[in-house]
Amino acid sequence: MILDDSVLNGLLNKIADIDGIPVDGAYNIRKDGASMARQSTESVIITPKEDKPGIDIKVLPFATEKNIHIPVVITESGLNDMVYNDFYIGEGADVTIVAGCGIHNSGCEASEHDGIHRFFIGKNAKVKYIEKHYGEGDGTGGRILNPTTVVNLSENAVCEMETVQIKGVDSAVRETVANLDAGAKLFITERLMTHGEQTAKSQMTVNLNGDGSSAQVISRSVAKDKSTQVFYPKAEGNCRCKAHVQCDSIIMDDAKVRSIPEISANSCEAALIHEAAIGRINNDQMVKLMTLGLSESEAENIIIDGFLK
């Protein structure tokens, strides 16, 4: 259902690929510090917490649900919103969860959203989690997003996380911790772009605790103008396991980027790899695109878009 609010509809489209309130599926839409719309289904039960702001999302065992939306929207300048969301994914379930936060700030005070998400993923369950961050508005107040995510994967569970910072976020600190049991698999893809004087920090710790567990962490970023980025992903192998950590960044203008991937083995059967690269846009690619008739700016945008996909 499209709402009579162009700002709200625009933010929901940017961060959750929906136009207004979904027609079906489970959802919880939070606006300016309060729940605006909520719906459960037979296999996904969403209930508000009684002791603090946030919700519990319970997915029943062996449920298949590809349409769970839990976006957060802030349109009030000066609002500081804190939310606690817990996800309980039943054994054998297969679900896709679309989260994210969009801030529209047209005032002079900072607007901030801090979210703490905890996942308890049951045996043999599969979760795809998509989280997008976006900021807009012509005010001078900051747009601040600080997400914390803790993922606990039971035996043979699989979690695919896609975190995206689109643009317009002045300050972001992302903290992610994952704990993997035997045979569990984790795939994290992080993509972000900063510009102006924005700052972004991402810290990840992946604990491979169970025999045969594996993780892949890929971070791609573009830093423009005078923005600053810091990445600190860490994989700790405590058993027979595999992990690959990769950080790739394009740096432009007067930006600053620090990439500090770390691997730590506490078992002789842990196989861990890390790589990091920071560099400018490939000049040969620029020249090739410009010979096809594109301007320098158009060529640059195509290369950046392709890099962040």
Q: If we measure between CA atoms, which residue out of 47, 188, 62, 209 comes closest to residue 128?
A: 188
Q: For the chain, how many structural domains are there in total?
A: 1
Q: Please give the residue range of the domain that contains residue 204.
A: 6-308
- Say what the pLDDT of residue 290 is: 87
- Say what the pLDDT of residue 4 is: 55
- Say what the pLDDT of residue 257 is: 97
In this prediction, residue 294 has a pLDDT band, given cuts at 50, 70 and 90, of confident
Q: If you compute the radius of gyration of the chain from its CA atoms, what whole number of angstroms results?
A: 20
Question: In the chain, what's the furthest Cα-to-Cα distance?
Answer: 62
Q: Which residues pair with 82 in a beta bridge?
A: 114
pLDDT by residue (tens digit) across 64-109? 998 899 999 999 999 999 999 999 999 999 999 999 999 999 999 9
User: Three-state DSSP class for 133?
Assistant: strand
Report yes or no on 226 lying in a domain: yes
Q: Which helix (H) or strand (E) holds 286?
A: helix 283-291
Residue 158 in tokens: 């699989």
> Which residues, 6 or more positions from 33, have their beta carbon under 8 angstroms from its beta carbon?
53, 74, 76, 79, 81
> What is the Cα–Cα distance from 168 to 74, expressed in whole angstroms?
13
Report yes or no on 1 lying in a domain: no
- Say what the pLDDT of residue 67 is: 85
Report yes or no on 27 lying in a domain: yes
Report yes or no on 50 lying in a domain: yes
Report yes or no on 36 lying in a domain: yes
